[in-house]
Amino acid sequence: MKPFLILSHGLESGPDATKVTALAKAADTVGLRSVRPDYRDLDAHRDVRYIGERIARLKAHAPAGAPVVLAGSSMGAYISALASTELDCVGLFLIALPVAIPGHARNFEAARVPTALVHGWNDELCPVDATIAFARMRGDAITLLHDDHRLGNHVEHIAELFRLFLGGFGR
């Protein structure tokens, strides 16, 4: 059974943002259905107490009894990782991952599934060293790019990495 893909946007973004749109197009090329939940109403509060509601909204989009691949950027990566431990998650693709969010009490964790990370060397919001340490601890694949947090200079490259990652799931 092909997994269902849930793509989560970052905090100051939306479901039609450049990166998640590029990821959705990459998923289409390998025959995976996807959804992009809209978290903007929750994000407007700019309060870590809404992270749990973000996770609940992500989980509400997961089809019952079906495996899922979760992907996201920044806050979308953070909630994808946390939600992966509560769903039948078979893969994670995490972009500009913050491994800690100040004020959020829940311990950060992610399911032990095939995982690929993409991060900018010059990420001004999420320290690259923390993401490298996370990837090293788990043995996850990580691609480091000469870019900042938004990774705006590498959207097409990230979409191609995602397409290659999804290739094993689209059969």
In a domain, 68, yes or no: yes
pLDDT at 33: 92
In a domain, 41, yes or no: yes
For Cα atoms 44, 50, 54, give the angle at the middle one, nearest 5 degrees: 95
Query: Tens place of pLDDT for every residue, the chain, 171 residues?
Result: 899 999 999 998 999 999 999 999 999 999 999 999 999 999 999 899 999 999 999 999 999 989 999 999 999 999 999 999 999 999 999 999 999 999 998 999 999 999 999 999 999 999 999 999 999 999 999 999 999 999 999 999 999 999 999 998 755
CA dist 162 and 26 (Å) reads 7
What is the phi/psi pair of residue 96, to 5°?
Answer: 50, 50
In a domain, 43, yes or no: yes
Contact call for residues 35 and 93 (beta carbons, < 8 A): no
pLDDT at 58: 98
Contact call for residues 147 and 154 (beta carbons, < 8 A): yes
Instruction: Give this prediction's pTM.
Output: 0.97
Q: Write out the two tokens for 141.
A: 């694949």
CATH number at residue 116: 3.40.50.1820
Burial (CB count within 10 angstroms: exposed 0-12, middle 13-18, buried 19+), residue 49: exposed
In a domain, 117, yes or no: yes
CA dist 74 and 47 (Å) reads 15
pLDDT at 59: 98
In a domain, 108, yes or no: yes
Cα 102 to Cα 49, 111, 136, distances in angstroms: 11, 22, 22
In a domain, 171, yes or no: no
Q: Write out the two tokens for 8.
A: 């989560």
How many structural domains compose the chain?
Answer: 1
Q: Write out the DSSP string of 63-130.
A: PTT--EEEEEETHHHHHHHHHHTTTTEEEEEEES--S--TT--SPP---SS-EEEEEETT-SSS-HHH
In a domain, 10, yes or no: yes
pLDDT at 171: 54
pLDDT at 116: 98
In a domain, 18, yes or no: yes
Burial (CB count within 10 angstroms: exposed 0-12, middle 13-18, buried 19+), residue 120: buried
Which structural domain range is residue 40 located in?
A: 4-166
